[in-house]
Structure formats: structure tokens, C-alpha cells
Amino acid sequence: MLETRHLSRSVGQRLLVNDISMQVATGEILAVVGPSGAGKSSFLRLLNRLDEPTAGLVLLKATDYRSIAPQELRRRIGMVMQTAFLFPGTISANIAFGPRQRGEIMAPTQIATLLERVGLSGFADRDVGNLSGGEAQRVALARTLANAPEVLLLDEPTSALDEASVRGVEELVLGIVQERRMACVIVTHNREQAVRLADRTMIMEAGRLVAIGATREVLHAD
């Protein structure tokens, strides 16, 4: 589904992502773990083309992603950031944002179904200013899912949440990836979270991929 070949990005003299090749299949969750500054988030941003690779390729269903219009690419490769960054207004307006960019109007029932799936039934008309961190992150996930992406990128989606909220979001991600048969790449600094969620794990250090394989094997060997 999603593949990188010798993917690199440098800023000035600094090599943020260095020669990374990997694949993620449909229905699979790949965790990216590593210490702070290892280049995990920089790698994820390249997958969404929020930043431009300075070398290498990203292939979506075997197509070089540079041949896909950025707006269409980002609809197909959805990304949830570490902070929810909800837009001012109601939750339903946030969820309808993506489809509206393509001129599609989401029916209230579609929004309600999506909110129900992320455990926020009846929240449609609430203002985003009154949400807890966990609720905001669920809205951000629902907002991304409204675009019906084929790949889901998650950048430390639970790093700012309490333990109960973390488990709730994790269960939600597991369920949704299975239901929708998406490929998922999750960046996390939490190895236990990688064990709970990911089929495979890749370890990054100083921008390089140092290990990739079945989660328990890779983390145990490390």
C-alpha cells in the first residue's frame, strides 16, 4: 500500500531522515519508535508530503506520490498530529472540513455515525473549546476519517493524554484500522504502546532506520 525507497530529507547541513526504505500493507499497523530527535515526526511528515523529500521515493499503491495532486494525496493519506489543532467552531464543522474542500457536503447522519464510532455521540453541535484532550484527539481522528483515507498516519496521538484516554484512543485506532482495512503508521516514543498496537515496528536513531520487523522481535532484540 505505502512504500518508501531510500527516503531522505536534509535541512541545511542536518540530515533529518536518512535513507529509509520500508513498506506498510493494507490492514497493517507499523509503529515508528526511537528517542527524541530521531527523526520520527520528520519521517511521518514526508509520508504526508507536508515536507519535501530531498532524495528517495514514496509510493502509494506503487505510484510515485509526486504524480498525485497534493490535495488528493493528503485525502488518501490522512494524518493526525500530536496536537489536535481543531478549527474554531463546532465539532460537526470540523468533521465536515475535509469533504467540504472537495465541494462535498456531509449529511448530519454521516457526521453522527462518525462521532458515534469515536465515542462522541451527541457531540456534533458542541464548540471545540469545551473538549478535554482525549475528546479533542478523537475529534481530530474523526475529522481525518471523514476523508475516507487509505493510509492513516498518527504522530504521537496519545502523548498528551491521561492513561484512561490513551487506552481508549488505542482501542479506537485498532478497531478502525481493522474495519476500514487501512494501512497505518504510528509514531510513538512509548514502546509498550507499540507492543499493544503494532504488527511491525521500525526503530529510528539519528534519522536512520536501525531495525524493522515484528514488533516483539524488534523491541526484544533492541
Partner 1 sequence: MLTELEGGIGNDVLMGLAQAVGAIVLCAAVVALCRWHAVRVEREAAVSMARGLVQMVLVGMVLAVLLHGSLLIGTLILLMMTIAAAFTAARRLQQMEGALLLCFWAIAAGAGTVIAAMLATRSLRADIAILVPVGSMIIANAMNACAQAAERFRAEILAHVGQIEAGLTLGAEPAATVVPYFQSAVYASLLPRLDMLKSLGLVWIPGVMAGMMVSGASPVYAAIYQFVVVAMILAASGITGLVATILIRSRVFTSAAQLAFRPNETSTSRAALRQAHPVQ
User: What contacts 208, CB < 8 A, 6 or more positions away?
Assistant: 18, 19, 20, 39
Q: Measured between alpha carbons, how far apart are the two ends of the chain, in Å?
A: 27
Total length of the chain:
222
Cell of 139: 475529534
143 near partner 1, judged by CB under 8 A: yes
Q: Which of 25, 63, 72, 171 binds partner 1 (CB under 8 A)?
A: 72
25 near partner 1, judged by CB under 8 A: no
* Closer residue to partner 1, CB minimum distance, 147 or 193: 147
Number of residues that bind partner 1 (CB under 8 A): 29
90 near partner 1, judged by CB under 8 A: no
- Written as one letter, the residue type at 51 is D
157 near partner 1, judged by CB under 8 A: no
* Closer residue to partner 1, CB minimum distance, 138 or 200: 138
Helix H or strand E segment including 183: strand 183-187
Q: Which of 29, 60, 81, 111 binds partner 1 (CB under 8 A)?
A: 81
Question: Which residues of this protein are in contact with partner 1, per CB under 8 A?
Answer: 11-12, 48-52, 54, 66, 70-72, 74-75, 78-79, 81, 83, 85-87, 97-98, 101-102, 140, 143-144, 147
